[in-house]
């Protein structure tokens, strides 16, 4: 269902007036005015707990945001997506990654056909293959068991599996080492190949079309490396493909029984639930991969059926819209207080910025408001000693999503207590800040002179009133991680529905790829360069000249 123009909706106009009404109210004052604020602005779903009370919004704000979601037909668009309608309207594709994690007995129709059989056929193929590797039934060409698995992909074919494998490494099999190569920079592949025994290495080539330039260059280079040790016959033992292009897979030398299919209704950044998740199943075991899917499915069910006012993805999305469009916050920092969630901010960068980094709405018109914020972050407590200075005292106000677990998966309880204390303290400090008077009193207690106090107090003052969300999991289990990923997937989708943009295409990725082909030809040519702008020509000329001289 087409959306209304976002900025023209009556709810948007009411929110513009409302933000002026509360512009002098701080988050701390809201807690003083509302003793039950924490209870009123928090909820639990699919094993996750969300506290969004430390945002500068009131019950009226939330009501207006919910009206905005209703006026933008969020529920209808959500239902259309789950029903297999072609909500990716620029590519005329359905968006059904949610079907990949649904129960086997739950039908999903696409163009009148139930696609469940296809989905669970591939899942069964993954299960059988994974167990054959783990039992040692599938081995390398010399008969050695596989010890190393190299996933070669890029974008969603790399970020999702790598993030999950790292996040759940505490339950990973100790007899398999996982490696991920995405960057076309040869240093990345070279660094991995140097660690490997070709006789015990399995390569997974992950490319839907099997034509992705970066992935296929890495794949062919890996194959050439392998062929310096073994003949072409060995390729079928050591290479498998995740692709929908059987002809290209066969041409590469991979046996069709080692090709795992997926479909055009699975977008790259939503694909870890598909055969793209094969590295996850191999690293963790298929039962843990299934638990990851089940956790995401639990969040899907909540997103589909909970009323908007008690819907965690919807409320997280609307809080983000409030901060982006009405509080004018240009970025969000993701602070994961769990070392194993190291790659989660990177994963969310692609999910959010590739989905909603758009300036044209579904009507082909320029959006009248900002859309996707910049997503960035790191694990706590590392970030506290790097960019948190900016968060606390920088000129820009940046909302923070704090993500942590109640229980650790190690036997160092004092470490976890310190970690949790830091996580909670940072969100409290961002909200409360420190007034000039408080800073002056602290300095007086230290015995400083009035002149020293006047000099130092402004630098020891924190403005506070800086928004944050906190998401708690009991432990970082496969099901909890699945729910967490799905929460952010649906958050991004709801924001796209509200903004009236297509969250499921990524045309902005293409232009640079096309130009790169032309420039690559010029770099290795001896012919004069007449096809590029002055800067590009100058840079090419310098590179050519320097490459001719001795290093």
Residues forming the active site = 354, 385, 513
Separation CA 283–CA 272 (nearest Å): 14
CA distance 192 to 169: 19
How many other C-beta atoms are found inside a 10 Å radius of the C-beta of residue 475? 15
Report how far apart, in Å, the C-alpha atoms of 456 and of each of 385, 437, 439, 453 are. 21, 12, 9, 5
Take residue 450 and report the two structure tokens written for it: 């009035």
In three-state secondary structure terms, 67 is helix
Cis peptide before 381 (omega within 30 of 0): yes
CA 298 – CA 318 distance, rounded (Å)? 21
Which runs of E-coded beta strand occur in 428-537?
468-473
Helix/strand number for the chain, H first, E second = 23, 13
CB 384 within 8 A of CB 422: yes
State how far the Cα of 336 lies from the Cα of 473, in Å rounded to an integer. Answer: 12
d(CA 349, CA 375): 5
* Separation CA 74–CA 11 (nearest Å): 14
HEC readout, 465-493: CCCEEEEEECCCCHHHHHHHHHHHHHHHH
Distance from C-alpha of 32 to C-alpha of 136, rounded to nearest angstrom: 63
Two structure tokens written together for 222 = 């890996």
Closest CA to 403 of 424, 372, 376: 424
Q: What distance in Å separates the CA atoms of residue 245 and residue 210, rounded to the nearest whole number?
A: 6
How far is the C-alpha of 387 from the C-alpha of 376, rounded, in Å?
10
- Residue 98 CA to residue 438 CA, distance in Å, equals 51
CB within 8 A of 126, min separation 6: which ones? 260, 275, 277, 278, 281, 286, 289
Distances (CA, A) of 71 to 2, 9, 194: 11, 7, 57
- Give the DSSP H or E segment for 408: none
Rounded CA separation 268/208 (Å) = 9
> Length of the chain, please?
551
Backbone angles phi, psi at 273, to 5 degrees: -80, -15
């Amino acid at each position: 269902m087409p959306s209304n123009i976002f900025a023209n909706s009556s709810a948007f106009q009411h929110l513009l007036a409302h933000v002026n009404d509360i512009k002098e109210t701080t988050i701390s004052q809201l807690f003083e005015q509302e003793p039950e604020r924490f209870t009123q602005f928090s909820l639990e779903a699919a094993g996750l707990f969300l506290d969004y009370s430390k945002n500068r919004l009131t019950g009226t704000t939330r009501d207006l945001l919910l009206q905005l979601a209703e006026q933008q037909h969020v529920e209808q668009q959500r239902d259309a997506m789950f029903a297999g309608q072609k909500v990716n309207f620029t590519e005329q594709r359905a968006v059904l990654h949610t079907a990949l994690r649904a129960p086997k007995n739950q039908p999903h129709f696409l163009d009148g056909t139930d696609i469940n059989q296809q989905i669970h056929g591939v899942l069964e193929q993954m299960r059988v293959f994974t167990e054959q590797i783990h039992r040692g039934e599938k081995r390398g060409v010399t008969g050695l068991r596989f010890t190393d698995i190299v996933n070669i992909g890029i974008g969603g074919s790399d970020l999702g599996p790598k993030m999950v494998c790292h996040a759940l490494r505490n339950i990973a099999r100790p007899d398999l080492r996982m490696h991920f190569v995405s960057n076309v920079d040869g240093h990345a592949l070279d660094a991995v190949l140097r660690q490997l025994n070709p006789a015990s290495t399995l390569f997974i080539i992950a490319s839907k079309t099997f034509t992705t330039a970066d992935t296929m260059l890495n794949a062919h280079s890996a194959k050439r490396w392998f062929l310096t040790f073994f003949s072409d016959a060995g390729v079928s033992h050591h290479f498998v493909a995740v692709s929908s292009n059987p002809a290209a897979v066969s041409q590469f030398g991979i046996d069709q029984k080692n090709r795992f299919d997926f479909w055009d209704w699975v977008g790259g950044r939503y694909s870890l639930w598909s055969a793209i998740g094969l590295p996850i199943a191999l690293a963790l075991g298929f039962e843990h991969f299934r638990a990851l899917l089940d956790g995401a499915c639990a969040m899907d069910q909540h997103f589909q059926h909970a009323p908007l006012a008690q819907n965690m993805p919807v409320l997280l999305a609307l809080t983000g819209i409030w901060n982006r469009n009405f509080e004018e916050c240009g970025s969000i920092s993701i602070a994961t207080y769990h070392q194993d969630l190291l790659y989660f901010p990177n994963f969310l960068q692609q999910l959010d910025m590739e989905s909603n980094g758009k300036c044209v709405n579904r009507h082909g018109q320029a959006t009248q408001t900002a859309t996707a914020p910049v997503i960035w972050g790191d694990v706590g407590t590392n970030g506290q000693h790097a960019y948190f200075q900016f968060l606390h005292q920088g000129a820009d106000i940046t909302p923070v999503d704090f993500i942590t677990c109640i229980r650790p998966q190690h036997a160092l309880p004092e470490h976890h207590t310190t970690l949790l204390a830091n996580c909670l303290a940072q969100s409290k400090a961002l909200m409360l800040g420190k007034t000039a008077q408080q800073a002056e009193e602290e300095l007086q207690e230290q015995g400083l002179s009035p002149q020293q106090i006047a000099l130092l107090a402004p630098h020891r003052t924190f403005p506070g009133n800086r928004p944050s969300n906190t998401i708690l999991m009991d432990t970082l289990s496969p099901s909890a991680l699945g729910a967490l990923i799905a929460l952010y997937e649906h958050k991004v989708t709801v924001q796209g529905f509200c903004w009236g943009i297509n969250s499921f295409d990524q045309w902005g990725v293409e232009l640079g790829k096309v130009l790169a082909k032309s420039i690559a030809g010029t770099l290795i040519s001896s012919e004069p360069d007449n096809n590029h702008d002055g800067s590009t020509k100058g840079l090419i000329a310098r590179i050519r000249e320097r490459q001719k001289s001795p290093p």
